[in-house]
Structure 1
Amino acid sequence: MSPPAGTVVRVRVPATSANLGPGFDTLGLALGMWDEVELSVGDGGRCVVDVEGEGAGRVPRDERHLVLRAAHATFARAGAPRVPLRLRCRNVIPHSRGLGSSAAAAVAGIVAARALIASTHPLDEDAVLDLAAGFDGHADNVAACLYGGLVVSWGHEGAWHAAHLTPHPALRPIALIADRSSSTEATRGLLPDRVPHADAAYNAARSALLVHALTSEPELLLAATEDRLHQPYRRPAYPETAAAVDHLRGAGVPAVVSGAGPTVLALTLDGHLPHGLDTTGFTVAPLAVDTDGARVEVV
C-alpha cells in the first residue's frame, strides 16, 4: 500500500560536530542550527524538489537529491512501494564545512519517509539508525542528528548502535565556520593506515575523559580534547583551521576541528573567544547544544 496522498511530513534536523578531538568516528554533538524539510507524495510521475538557502542552485533537483535518495532507501528497507515525492528544503547548515550537512539530509529523508509509511510499513529505531549510518559511512554525525545531545556510536556485527548522553548545561559551543569548503574524502585520504600504539592509547584515554568532561566535569575539556589520531595528519588540508585551533588551545580554550573540517568548534563555558583571535576567513557562530534531535510533524 502506498503512503496516503495529501499527507505532508515536516522535519527539522540539527547540525552536528563529529569526533570532538579524540573521538574519531565515534563521538558526535548536536548543535543549534537546523535544516527544515517538507516531504509529501507527489501528484505526478516524477519527483519535484525545491531548495531554499544553502545549496540552492547547486544541489540536484531530482531523485539524485540526498534527501530523496534516503527516503527511497527507507521505502525499500520497509518493503513499501516507491512513489513520486515532493520535497521542499530550507537549508541553513553550511555544506562541506564539517557540520554534518550530509548526515542531516540523510536523516531528514529517512525520518520523513518513515513517518509517511508508519501506518502500513513501520520501521524501528535500529533500522533508522542503520539506514542513516549507511549513507554517512559511520554513525557519529547521524546518531547525534537523530537523537540530539551527545552520542557515542559503534558498529558491531554489521549493525550500528548509539548511546545518547546529556551534555553538561554549562557548555557553550562556538563554531568558527570556514568560508571555504573541504572534502571529507580528501581529508580522510591524508590519514595513515597505521598509527603508533602510544598514540592509540593516548586517544583512548582522552576519548574516555572527553565523555566524562562533556557530561560531568567540563573543566577538564582542554585536556580531554587532545588528539593524535587524525587532526595532526589533516593540518596540510586547512592551515588556517589548524592555526585557529592552535591559537585557541594556547589561550586555554578547548578547540577542535569539527568533523573533517575546516570549521573549528570551541567548547567554551562562557560563550566567549579570547581577544586577538584572527577570525579572517571564518564566520563566528555561537550555538546552543541541540537536545531534541530530529523532530517530525505530520500535517
Structure 2
Amino acid sequence: MTTFTVRAPASSANLGPGFDSLGLSVPLYTTVKVTPGDVTEVVPHGPELEGTPADESNYVYRAMLLVAKRTGLTLPPARMEITTEVPLARGLGSSAAALVAGIVAANELLGRPLDDHAVLDVAAREEGHPDNVAPALFGGIVVATLDKLGTHYVRLDPPANLGVTVLIPDFELSTSKARAVLPREYSRADAVHALSHAALLAAALSQGRLDLLRHAMQDYIHQIWRAPLVPGLSDILEDAWRHGALGAALSGAGPTVLCFHDTRESTALLHAYLNSVMKKNGLDGRVMDFPIDTQGTLIEREG
C-alpha cells in the first residue's frame, strides 16, 4: 500500500440550542500522513502538538485502534505523521478532528472495511455525542443524534452567503470543566424553549432563512451556565447582532465564540466589536472569518 494522507476539518458544535446535536465544519485541518512500513511510529509535528505523545498512546493512534476493535482486524505497522491547524481545547473540535482523522486513516489502512455510516458511529460513540464528529467527517452543517439503535444524521449544504466569524481567546477551557457547570435537571419551560429553538434553527439553516438565525440561536441549556467561564460571552450573545452578526453562539464547550455573518457585507464592524469585548475583559485572542467547509474529511494518495 502506498503512502496516503487524511485531512479532517475543525468543527463548531452545540450551536445555540443545538446542544450535542448540531454542528458545522470549519476550514482548519488536522492531517495524518500514513506510510506503511515495518514498525509503528507516531510523529506529531508543529507547535499545536508540542508535548503530545509520540508513541502508541497518542490520541490519533488510539482512534485507529477503535477500527481494529470494531472490525476484528489487526492494524499493520505504519508511520503516522500528525499536524494540525486546530487550536487545542478552544471549542473548535480538536479532539473530534483527531478522532475522525485516526478512524478514517485506520479504515483506509485496513482496506475500508467500514462504510461512512459505520465510521461515524465509531467516532460518535467514542466522543459520546455526534455534533463535532459528523461535520468533521461529512462537512457542511450536520444535525445528528446518537442512541442505542445507532447514529443518525442529516447533512445540509450551507445557505448561500452564510459565513462564520470566530473569536478564539488565548486561553484553554476543557470540555469536562465546561460540562461540570451544567445543571442535572431542567424545567419544562427550558426544555420547550430548547426544542422549539433547535427546530427553528435547523429549519432556518435548511431553507436559508438568515433573518431567523438571531432568534433561533437563543439557548438556556448550556450557554447561560457556561458564560461565567468565558468573559464577555454574555455581552456577545446579547449584542453581536447590533454589530453585523446574524447570530452568535458559544462554539463547542468554548471559549471560542462563533458569529454568523452575511458574506455580502463587511465584517469590519463585527471584528471591531469582538476585539473591544476582548479588550474590555483583559483577553488576547484572534478574530477570523471563514467559509463553512463543505468537503469534510478527505483522503489523498501519493503516486
TM-score normalised by length of structure 2: 0.90
User: Cα distance, 1:243 vs. partner?
Assistant: 3.5
* Partner of residue 133 from structure 1, selected from 124, 145, 160: 124
The residue aligned with 1:183 is 174
* Partner of residue 143 from structure 1, selected from 123, 126, 134: 134
**Per-residue deviation, residues 223-266 of structure 1 (Å, max 9, x unmatched):** 01111111001112122333333341454621110010000000
* Partner of residue 237 from structure 1, selected from 229, 232, 236: 229
* Partner of residue 18 from structure 1, selected from 13, 22, 31: 13
State yes or no: 1:268 paired with 2:252: no
Percent of residue pairs identical: 40
Q: Please give the secondary structure, in 2, of the residue aligned with 1:180.
A: coil
* Partner of residue 78 from structure 2, selected from 54, 79, 85: 85
User: Which runs of 4 or more aligned residues in structure 1 lie more than 6 Å from their structure 2 counterparts after TM superposition?
Assistant: none
* Partner of residue 166 from structure 1, selected from 149, 157, 170: 157
TM-score normalised by length of structure 1: 0.91
CA distance in 2, matches of 1:180, 1:168: 32
- The answer as to whether partners of 1:225 and 1:256 remain within 8 angstroms in 2 is yes
Q: Which amino acid aligns with 2:259?
A: A
Q: Please give the secondary structure, in 1, of the residue aligned with 2:151.
A: strand
State yes or no: 1:69 paired with 2:62: yes
CA distance in 2, matches of 1:243, 1:51: 38
The residue aligned with 1:32 is 27
User: Cα distance, 1:49 vs. partner?
Assistant: 2.0
CA distance in 2, matches of 1:129, 1:276: 38
* Partner of residue 115 from structure 1, selected from 108, 120, 127: 108
State yes or no: 1:202 paired with 2:193: yes
* Partner of residue 219 from structure 2, selected from 224, 227, 236: 227
The residue aligned with 1:213 is 204
CA distance in 2, matches of 1:176, 1:51: 26
- Considering only aligned residues, what root-mean-square deviation do their CA atoms show, in Å? 1.7
User: Cα distance, 1:41 vs. partner?
Assistant: 2.6
* Partner of residue 298 from structure 2, selected from 270, 287, 295: 295
- The answer as to whether partners of 1:32 and 1:288 remain within 8 angstroms in 2 is yes
CA distance in 2, matches of 1:195, 1:107: 32
- After superposition, the Cα gap between the structure-2 partners of 1:17 and 1:71, relative to the gap in structure 1 and judged at 3 Å, is same
User: Cα distance, 1:58 vs. partner?
Assistant: 1.8
Number of aligned positions between the proteins: 290
CA distance in 1, matches of 2:7, 2:71: 22
CA distance in 2, matches of 1:176, 1:296: 29
| Higher helix fraction (1 or 2) | 2
User: Cα distance, 1:65 vs. partner?
Assistant: 1.0
CA distance in 2, matches of 1:53, 1:105: 14
User: Cα distance, 1:31 vs. partner?
Assistant: 1.1
User: Cα distance, 1:83 vs. partner?
Assistant: 3.1
